[in-house]
Amino acid sequence: MGSLENGVLLKKDQHHSHNIGRVSSFSKQQRPRSRFPRFLLSKRIGYLQWISTIVVFSLFLVFFQAFLPGSVVERPGNSRKTLDLVGEDLMYLNRIIKELDFGEDVRFEPTRLSSKFQKEAAEVNSSSGFKRGIRFGHRKPKLALVFADLGVDPYQILMATVGTALQEIGYTIEVFSSEDGPAHTVWQHIGVPVTTIEIKDHCRSNVDWLNYDGILLNSLEGKEILSCFMQEPFKSLPLVWTIHEDRLATRLNQYTVNGTVEILNDWKKSFSRATVVVFPNYALPMIYSKFDTGNYLVVPGSPTEAWEADSLMSFNQEQVYAKMGFAADDFVIAVVGSQFMYKGLWLEQALILQALKPLLTEFLPDDRSDSGFKLIILTGDSEGNYTKAVEAISTSLDYPKGIVKHVDRDASADDVLGIANLVIYGSFLEEQSFPDILIKSMCYEKLIIAPNLSMIQKYVDDRVNGYLFPKEDIKVLTAIVSQVVSRGRLSPLAHNVASIGKETAKNLKSMEAVEGYASLLENILKLPSEVAVPKSASEIPSKYKNEWRWNILKMIPDAKYRSRNLKDRSDQPRGTWEDVYRSSRRADHMKNDLHERDDGELERTGQPLCIYEPYFGEGTWPFLHHKPLYRGIGLASRGRRRGTDDVDASSRLSLLSNPYYRDALGEFGAFFAIANRVDRVHKNAWIGFQSWRATARKKVLSKTAEKALLKAIETGEHGDTFYFWVRLDSDPRNPMNKDFWSFCDAVNAGNCRSAFSDAFKKMYGIKQDWDSLPPMPMDGDTWSVMHSWSLPTRSFLEYVMFARMFVDALDAQMYEEHHRSGHCYLSLTKDKHCYSRVLELLINVWAYHSARHMVYIDPETGKMQEQHGLQNRRGHMWLKFFSLRTLKSMDEELAEEADSEQTKRHWLWPKTGEIFWQGSCKRSYQSLVSTLKGVYFSLYYSSSKEAASLLPHVPFKFHPANTS
């Protein structure tokens, strides 16, 4: 992709069509090619090249002057020509213009992102696997709008406008910010909850971002919060990063020159983390091309220009006039143009200057250069040699010295637009969206005159809110100027047009922005089956998208524009995550890690219960406990807490080293890891598990509830009991309080019953035409969710025995399709956590039908209430399927099969834990005897009988003569 780093001009890239942010090159075979070389200027163009360009341009103008019938400003002694002569002067130029290329091939095309959206849409519409899922829509999709702070700025207006529209079409929105501010009031007025988050070490915030279907992050300053989403388990969340600032781009070259590669790499990682990086115009993705990984998109529209113009209207114009060397009563025309520097730009500006020469007769009655007429070319930058080019052009066109001046657009745009009487858009480049510089000009209530380019005509109604002229007929511009300028001032009609233009620009492109964000979310959000699909972008009512939410400013007293400066902490080289990890690891090695683990084990010795908290990634650390009652279990070695005695699940069960099963099983994998040779890690009579997500939802056991649970365990109050403290009927996924199987269907694309039935039949060898399910009655009581429960360790092992067989049967029907394509019929889209939602509810089926007491503990008060009383279950329980005797028999059959067969088929069960059956004891014994025989035999013949007599006694007779 062509780069605009530090304002560097774009170069065509015809070889990287796969890039999303690229400069497209379209051949125009239907029209004559320009006789000028097709090249794009660079701001670092050499001085000699500039001299050559100026000389060629001067000769070019001399050539035209030699053949043109006259000039507007004659030499001394000649009579002054009328305005009509200008049309004759420009006739030849007009014919040349039609053959010139004015940069139409400078375009940003999101090719990769568009292809991705099309591919994913096709996958959703096509059948995935042998069963199609259905959507239930029990809750609205949730979005998190994240800000660096809640100061009053254009980001707040933009997102308040977009957020209000999104709420109207079916989204639920919450706002998060690392700093509070006056905009807090705005969101409260809209009805949006606001949370101030604390960003701790490497963004370990106290927010469970998995509660949200998508994240909208705003501004470059949001980079610090972005690091939260670069950690597991939040790395795969859809994230839209909106960037309006260009200041980082202007510093890229400085970072490169200074050798601060770490900063560049850090920013590149941040840009690559976003699902989509959204820019409000087509120039920004090009100047940030260094960081483009194929995730750039333009959603045109922002209130920034109108906001800035409104806030700067009261600035001291006298100081600006003085700084530029102008008088307060000068008539100033600003010639603005595209942000891109391209080959035809200098010629376009020459044509504009040529068309404006008749004004010299209005302001320059004699040959004096101190007239009240000033022309400012607002383009390029002050570091290059463009000023020399402008001087050469104006001299060649016989403009008196001091009238035409080149000004750096980036540094002085607001100053120039503030004092300008008239703004002319002097670029003929066919832009992809309405130029921001024109929006700001109109917001300053300046009359604009622009070529009738398609994107300009879309918003400018000729002679209503601005003036248009055809780029092929430059003499029309001269005629327009002669109409709007009278006696050195703008005409009353021109002022009226400018006033209407200001009202137009104030809300210009708000519709594109609102619909753009809504359409983007339609493309990137992968909504679970229990979530309702919002209305489409086209269904947003007009009143929510036709104007920005300027009214929010009235809610905030003394709301003033606050310019954003890149904070120093964003520029500090912190290194990669790997560097940070290694540093923390070195620090931890200074501690007696083994001693800490020993202390943890000693603290748990003698207590009746240990509650394990499964986790995956650093993002979960803030939700884990540090008390002896709890112990973490890391599902992956990477991302484990250092200096703790957390269990490494993958080292206890090699299956969890496989990313596929680690994701598919989710927290359920921790059960298999602990149960595998359980005595080596767990020596307590009772065992419990608690999801870190329950902690995030404040559904964890309080100290009072912990004491109540321990007391019930010690006294045996309820016997062999399944205690749980997170209820199904209060789950956010179940707002309609559906029964057990209906809820399971809702979160599994309507296929929970089918998947459970198929697995159950395979597990027990039941005929295929059998379609019954274990009854889970809706009797007014509730069920457990979110893996937060406790039960006796021996009962836990019995449950794992059942669960291993069930998961194996579930895997047998889903593995092939899911592993191959990423699709499983328990989800509407590709889902790496395919099995996890069915398994989350599995323990309820086992506990209910194995005749366990089921007791709910209020996590706050510790009050206990039995659910689904045993007396009421009589006649409903399938005891023959869930009895320990049945399960042990099935388990032994599988163990014997695994021990006796060397099968090559995909079989999960042997990988989920120990393989044990009675025959394996006999085989182990026989293997030991054979080994000892071999040792005895070897020693007997290799040494004396006395040496052999020293061997331990074995229960068999040894006959040297019988070698068999």
In sequence order, the 6+-apart residues with CB closer than 8 A to the CB of 730 are 782
Which residues lie across from 177 on neighbouring strands?
A: 147, 196
Residue 12, Cβ density class (10 Å: 0-12 exposed, 13-18 middle, ≥19 buried)? middle
Task: State residue 202's pLDDT score.
Answer: 62
Helix or strand run (H / E) with residue 683: none
Task: State residue 93's pLDDT score.
Answer: 44
pLDDT, tens digit, for every residue of 56-112? 455 444 444 433 333 333 333 333 333 343 344 444 444 444 444 555 556 788 888
Separation of alpha carbons 953 and 929, rounded Å: 11
pLDDT, tens digit, for every residue of 441-466? 999 999 999 999 999 999 999 999 99
pLDDT, tens digit, for every residue of 11-20? 333 333 333 3
DSSP 23: B
Separation of alpha carbons 908 and 269, rounded Å: 37
Separation of alpha carbons 756 and 291, rounded Å: 46
Task: State residue 216's pLDDT score.
Answer: 98
The pLDDT of 583-598, averaged and rounded, is 46
Separation of alpha carbons 8 and 26, rounded Å: 22
* Cβ atoms 545, 508 nearer than 8 A: no
Res. 723: pLDDT tops 80: yes
Which strands make up the sheet holding 373-378, listed edge to edge? 404-407, 373-378, 331-336, 422-425, 447-451, 467-469
The pLDDT of 691-711, averaged and rounded, is 96
Res. 48: pLDDT tops 60: no
Dihedral of the CA atoms 299, 467, 408, 330 (nearest 10)?
-150
The pLDDT of 675-683, averaged and rounded, is 95
Res. 430: pLDDT tops 90: no
* Cβ atoms 564, 219 nearer than 8 A: yes
Domains 136-301+513-557 and 304-508 agree in fold: yes
Res. 760: pLDDT tops 80: yes
Task: State residue 831's pLDDT score.
Answer: 93
Confidence of residue 275 (pLDDT cuts 50, 70, 90): very high
Phi, psi of 242 (to 5 degrees): -95, 125
Separation of alpha carbons 201 and 181, rounded Å: 23
Task: State residue 919's pLDDT score.
Answer: 63
The pLDDT of 822-827, averaged and rounded, is 93
Three-state SS string over 798-862 comes to HHHHHHHHHHHHHHHHHHHHHHHHCCCCCCCCCCCCCCHHHHHHHHHHHHHHCCCEEEEECCCCC
Task: State residue 45's pLDDT score.
Answer: 34
Confidence of residue 124 (pLDDT cuts 50, 70, 90): low
Sign of CA dihedral 614, 619, 623, 624: positive
Task: State residue 926's pLDDT score.
Answer: 60
Radius of gyration of the chain (CA): 38
Task: State residue 8's pLDDT score.
Answer: 32
- When mean pLDDT is compared across 482-486, 546-550, 831-835, 954-958, the lowest value belongs to 954-958
Integer angstrom CA distances of residue 728 from 379, 740, 741: 63, 8, 12
Query: Residue 122: helix, strand or coil by DSSP?
Result: helix
Res. 903: pLDDT tops 90: no
Query: Residue 635: helix, strand or coil by DSSP?
Result: coil
The pLDDT of 487-513, averaged and rounded, is 95
* Cβ atoms 357, 400 nearer than 8 A: no
Residue 95, Cβ density class (10 Å: 0-12 exposed, 13-18 middle, ≥19 buried)? exposed
The pLDDT of 891-919, averaged and rounded, is 86
- Select the more confidently predicted residue: 560 or 856: 856
Task: State residue 106's pLDDT score.
Answer: 61
Confidence of residue 921 (pLDDT cuts 50, 70, 90): low
Separation of alpha carbons 472 and 98, rounded Å: 6
Which strands make up the sheet holding 214-218, listed edge to edge? 194-196, 172-177, 142-147, 214-218, 239-242, 276-279, 296-298
Task: State residue 313's pLDDT score.
Answer: 73
pTM: 0.83
Confidence of residue 773 (pLDDT cuts 50, 70, 90): very high
Tell me which fold the domain 136-301+513-557 belongs to: Rossmann fold (3.40.50)
Res. 247: pLDDT tops 70: yes
Res. 951: pLDDT tops 80: no
Task: State residue 402's pLDDT score.
Answer: 86
Task: State residue 322's pLDDT score.
Answer: 80
pLDDT, tens digit, for every residue of 301-341? 999 999 988 887 766 677 777 877 788 888 999 999 888 77
Number of Cα atoms under 13 Å in the Cβ half of residue 715 = 8
State in words which class domain 304-508 has.
alpha beta
Separation of alpha carbons 402 and 381, rounded Å: 19
Average pLDDT of the chain, as a whole number: 82
Confidence of residue 606 (pLDDT cuts 50, 70, 90): confident
As a whole-number percent, the residues of the chain with pLDDT over 70 amount to 76
Separation of alpha carbons 492 and 443, rounded Å: 18
Nearest-10 crossing angle of helices 436-443, 304-312: 40
Three-state SS string over 747-797 comes to CCCCCHHHHHHHHHHHHHCCCCCCCCCCCCCCCCCCCECCCCEEEEHHHHH
The domain spans of the chain are: 136-301+513-557, 304-508, 597-898
DSSP string, 934-960: HHHHHHHHHS-HHHHHTSPP-SS---T
Separation of alpha carbons 501 and 464, rounded Å: 8
Strands (E), 116-213: 142-147, 172-177, 194-196
Which residues lie across from 959 on neighbouring strands?
A: none
Sign of CA dihedral 752, 758, 763, 767: positive
pLDDT, tens digit, for every residue of 165-219? 999 999 999 999 999 999 999 999 889 999 999 876 666 778 999 999 999 999 9
